[in-house]
Amino acid sequence: MLPIELADTDALPAADQALDQLDRTAREIGKGDCQPRILIWRMKRALVVTRRETRLPGFARAASRMASAGWPVSVRGSGGNTCAVGPGTIQIALAFPRPPEGVTLDGVYDALVQPILSAIFQFGAEAEVAPVPASFCSGRYDIAVNGRKIAGLAQQWHGPAGRGGYVIAAASVIVDEDPAELAAAVNGFAGLCDGVERCSANAITTLAREAREVVNGTDLPSRFSDRLRNSATAKSFGRLIGRNGLLELRQ
């Protein structure tokens, strides 16, 4: 299971390590070797790209250049476009066996969105689900505050139901990072690799900027992860995937 919280930046896992462990855990869940999980973690700075983008002209050279600049490139299994993460972003994932019927992409997104909106609201910020086209990895289920992206969601569905299939629904929440640095990293990669979408720093925001609660001098990512963990309980997802005892979520 991925770490719930790590306050020491030097101890955070690299993105490759964290994503690999997420995939391994999800496969074990699909096979029935362990129970479904809600995972909340932080990881080191990285650009996280899709498998599609690894096939773009110039990808290998661009990835090498960005790694030398302090932005190693990791590959995720979901769709979308390049996004930037760091110690000031919080990752949350719901991993569970692929259900036989009645569960939709929108239903999973709706369930994952609610605890994130709740945790953001607890800091006095009003968030909503809305696409932010100029942000990195823009999608229909972006979470925005004052018209700027603060979180993005993605899903992976693998294999058949009842035969090892599993689902990963994940989100990345920008808690305390510099939007200009995140955008510069994505745009630097786009400048080296044809086909990567550019973004605008003005389309990105952070909880540190939007929170009304006083947050100076505190470890805001740790505090946010605590509130997110309290919001993202098994009860949050019971209506979606708990019918007939199908799932028992554990944190």
Q: Which residues are catalytic?
A: 137
What is the number of residues in the chain? Answer: 251
Report the distance separating Cα 227 and Cα 212, nearest Å: 15
Is-contact 202 236, C-beta < 8 A?
A: no
The first and second tokens of residue 157, run together, are 């569905």
Exposed / middle / buried, residue 5 (Cβ in 10 Å: 0-12, 13-18, 19+) = middle
Which of these, 225, 220, 224, lies nearest to 40 by C-alpha position? 225
3-state secondary structure 53-110: HHHCCCHHHHHHHHHHCCCCEEEECCCCCCEEECCCEEEEEEEEECCCCCCCHHHHHH
